[in-house]
């Protein structure tokens, strides 16, 4: 009799646990929070169009913790070739101010959705919003 009660209790606990994990997985898929993404994020996709290096900058929530930032966080471009950084509609708030201090660039995506410049020196240059809440690196080779 006791063995039957023990086996029954264990079965019920296993069933309840399984339901819990299935419900969490379904909820994550419905809300978009359960996302399998690669751990290592590639550099921003820079496309060359008519001799201009183009990349679209956006704002996204990263899967690790509660991190919100520019995407891409790493942009690789070539020296002495024009660069066009375009903001999409997700860029808002202080993220509309975009600065690359090492290149002397201060831009407002609020006023103009496109930033154009030609890097004249190589190196790694940090970029950020005016409040330094979001940022990344521009690599010029």
pLDDT of residue 25: 54
pLDDT of residue 45: 86
Omega cis (within 30) before 72: yes
Closest by CA to 52, choosing from 141, 122, 107, 116, is 116
Q: Which residues contact 52 (CB under 8 A, 6 or more apart)?
A: 81, 82, 83, 84, 116
Q: Residue 104: which pLDDT band, with cuts at 50, 70 and 90? A: very high
- What's the predicted TM-score (pTM) here? 0.67
pLDDT of residue 17: 65
Half-sphere exposure (Cβ direction) of 126: Cα atoms closer than 13 Å: 7
pLDDT of residue 8: 73
**Tokens 């339901």 sit at which residue?**
19
Residue-wise DSSP of 9-72: HHHHHHHHHHHHHHHHHHHHHHHT------SSPPPP--EEETTEEEEEEEEEE-SSTT-EEEE-
pLDDT, one tens digit per residue, over 28-78 is 444 444 444 434 444 568 999 999 999 999 998 877 766 789 999 999 999
Whole-number mean pLDDT of the chain? Answer: 83
pLDDT, one tens digit per residue, over 10-25 is 777 667 666 655 555 5
Q: What are phi and psi of 36, to 5 degrees?
A: -90, 115
């Amino acid at each position: 009799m006791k063995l039957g009660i023990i086996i029954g209790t264990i079965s019920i606990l296993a069933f309840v646990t399984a339901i819990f994990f299935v419900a969490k997985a379904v909820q994550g898929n419905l809300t978009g929070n359960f996302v399998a993404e690669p751990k290592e994020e590639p550099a921003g996709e820079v496309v060359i169009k008519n001799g201009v290096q183009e990349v679209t900058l956006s704002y996204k929530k990263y899967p690790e913790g509660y991190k919100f930032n520019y995407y891409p966080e790493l942009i690789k471009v070539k020296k002495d070739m024009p660069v066009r950084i375009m903001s999409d509609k997700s860029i808002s708030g202080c993220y509309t101010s975009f600065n690359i201090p090492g290149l002397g660039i201060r831009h407002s995506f609020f006023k103009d959705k496109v930033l154009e410049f030609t890097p004249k020196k190589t190196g790694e240059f940090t970029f950020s919003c005016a409040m330094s809440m979001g940022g990344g690196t521009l690599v010029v080779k």
